[in-house]
Amino acid sequence: MSIFASNNILNMDFLIKATQLILSLSILVILHEFGHYIAARAFKIRVEKFYLFFNPWFSLFKKKIGETEWGIGWLPLGGYVKISGMIDESMDKEQMKRPPQPWEFRSKPAWQRLIVMIGGVVVNLILGFFIYAMVVYAWGEEKIYTKDLKHGLAINPYLQKYQLHSGDNILKIDGEEVTHINDINAGILIRGKRKLTVKHQEGKTEIITLPEDVDYELFEKGAFPVVNLRHQSTTVELTTLVAPVPNLGLKAGDLILPESENVSDSITPRFIDLSILRGKDTILFSIPKEKIHLLKDAAPAWYAGLQKGDKIIAVNQREIVFFDEIVEELYNTRGKKAIIEVDRNGKPIQIEAKVSQQGKLGFAPKVVDPIDADAIQHVKYSFFESIPRGIEKGWTTLTDYIGQMKFLFTQKGASSIGGFGAIGNMFPSSWNWQVFWLNTAFISIVLAFMNILPIPALDGGHVVFLLYEMITGKEAPEKVLEYAQIAGFIILMTLLLYANGNDIYRWLFQ
């Protein structure tokens, strides 16, 4: 097998994503630490250091202004302010052995120390709300009232068991009018909403109540998004891999370019040339013919001979109009062979292909607009209207993020945790300011939530000890604080290694 990449891994797309990630995190870390700094200075507490990124052993840049050393570290895992008289990341035990000074953190009342500790979280929350407000002010937002959809919704075929089918329309969820399809997707998966007002294709309207544990069921089955807009693209654009083939170097999601040789058409004596699009890298694989059978299950559409430009007109003798009808029919044939009828250059052709156990055939359709595109409304906001809307979006983002934490305690959820690679992939490979600021607002709110968790070494850990002091009137012993700081650091490093390890594993094997 030979592999030739058309672009180096460190190509322009990677650099653009990395630049956006670093810029976003830098803005958020600086402002988070500035929240601590401002609160500390307001109570006349000395701040010895203010650093973007960590600086073990050396700094990339540092300059002392007044009592504070301002600098940039080389380890991009966050940032910190070193506040006098506080047990923190620096673990400065010598300072704590000296008598308390009036400018030190430990000399101030507990309520003042509490405000200093939550200063960063408060700034992150306010910043997230503010960015959302400015985004809706600058770009507006999209609304989709499902009551205006003439052709209903594309509904995940797993929901057939609950008498929901593509073409049905969900008008209300828990009695509230649907103003965007995310009201349904997030409503069912995260917000605990179960009562759907459904208008079926034949015109009948009824209320369908989903079971209480349907959120975990859908998550484990990978049945999301629950709904989407319908479109009529039934024309094949590219075939894809639905499963990895590690011993051939192929990954799930790889796109097979049209110039790849078809199994039956190849005249190469010993190898089949497979041209793969992975991200924006084109990779040529020359695969021994005796191993081509490994692609039967991994790339069933390509293996069966489906080609770019084929228009799917029927699946298992069911006439096809909408793409979601293909999805539904393949789902109902999962693990079995499906008969695909296509129109190829005006000629009808019948193809037999094995559908994966997940109901996938392995092709990407040509991109077209939704059939009900005229139901998509673009709403603009004045400056003063954008403020409450931004706060509402920020609060919804926070509560939805907290709501989806429940999935982390499942096997699938734990394996889906990602690190910097996953965060970086949130950003597009070409610069888009709207997406950049939306992602920055989201990360800001996530950082606020993560930092307030009661884990030692995080702001929330310090808050727990301060609340204990305010309730009991007794300070936690310094040794307890030191050991808690060490334990918290170990917990955080373990989580960091696990999350980024998941990124590496997915990059290598999936």
Q: Per-residue pLDDT tens for 103-143?
A: 898 889 999 999 999 999 999 999 999 999 999 999 999 99
- Point out the domain boundary residue: 373, 402, 424: 373
Q: Each residue of 40-94: pLDDT tens digit?
A: 999 999 999 999 988 889 999 999 999 999 999 988 878 889 999 886 655 555 6
Q: How far apart are CA 329 and CA 164, in angstroms?
A: 14
Question: Are 131 and 205 contained in the same domain?
Answer: no
Question: Are 286 and 368 contained in the same domain?
Answer: yes
Question: Are 477 and 447 contained in the same domain?
Answer: yes
User: Is the preceding omega at residue 102 within 30 degrees of 0, hence cis?
Assistant: no
Q: Each residue of 349-362: pLDDT tens digit?
A: 999 999 999 999 99
What is the domain range of residue 192? 146-229
Task: Tell me whether residue 401 is in a domain.
Answer: no
CATH of the domain at 318: 2.30.42.10
Question: Are 126 and 197 contained in the same domain?
Answer: no
Task: Tell me whether residue 92 is in a domain.
Answer: yes
Question: Are 34 and 82 contained in the same domain?
Answer: yes
Q: How far apart are CA 294 and CA 440, in angstroms?
A: 42
Q: Each residue of 262-273: pLDDT tens digit?
A: 655 545 457 888
Q: Each residue of 367-376: pLDDT tens digit?
A: 999 999 999 9
The Cβ of residue 9 has, within 10 Å, a number of other Cβ atoms equal to 9
Rounding to the nearest 10 degrees, give the CA dihedral for residues 305, 310, 313, 317: 0
Question: Are 69 and 94 contained in the same domain?
Answer: yes
Residue (of 62, 113, 108) closest to 88 by Cα position: 113
Question: Are 130 and 28 contained in the same domain?
Answer: yes
Task: Tell me whether residue 38 is in a domain.
Answer: yes
Question: Which phi and psi angles does 371 have, rounded to 5°?
Answer: -65, -25
Q: How far apart are CA 272 and CA 290, in angstroms?
A: 10
For residue 389, what pLDDT band results from cuts at 50, 70 and 90? very high
Higher pLDDT, 497 or 305: 305
Task: Tell me whether residue 421 is in a domain.
Answer: no
Residue (of 218, 198, 205, 217) closest to 153 by Cα position: 198
| Mean pLDDT, rounded, of the chain | 89
- Point out the domain boundary residue: 195, 229, 263: 229
Task: Tell me whether residue 162 is in a domain.
Answer: yes
Question: Are 126 and 169 contained in the same domain?
Answer: no
Task: Tell me whether residue 91 is in a domain.
Answer: yes
H or E, element range at 494: helix 478-509
Task: Tell me whether residue 383 is in a domain.
Answer: no
Residue (of 113, 107, 79) closest to 95 by Cα position: 107
**pTM for this prediction:** 0.86
Q: How far apart are CA 89 and CA 92, in angstroms?
A: 8
Tokens for 286, please give them.
Answer: 């020359």
The tally of domains found in the chain comes to 3
Residues 6 or more apart whose Cβ sits within 8 Å of residue 20: 424, 427, 431, 436, 439
Question: Are 163 and 205 contained in the same domain?
Answer: yes
CATH of the domain at 202: 2.30.42
- Point out the domain boundary residue: 373, 393, 408: 373
Q: Residue 168 carries which DSSP code?
A: B
Question: Are 259 and 213 contained in the same domain?
Answer: no
- pLDDT for the residue numbered 510: 62
Q: How far apart are CA 177 and CA 171, in angstroms?
A: 6
Q: How far apart are CA 19 and CA 436, in angstroms?
A: 11
Q: Which residues of 47-78 are buried (b: 16+ CB within 10 A; e: fewer)?
A: bbbbbbbebeeebeeeeeeeebbbbbbeebeb
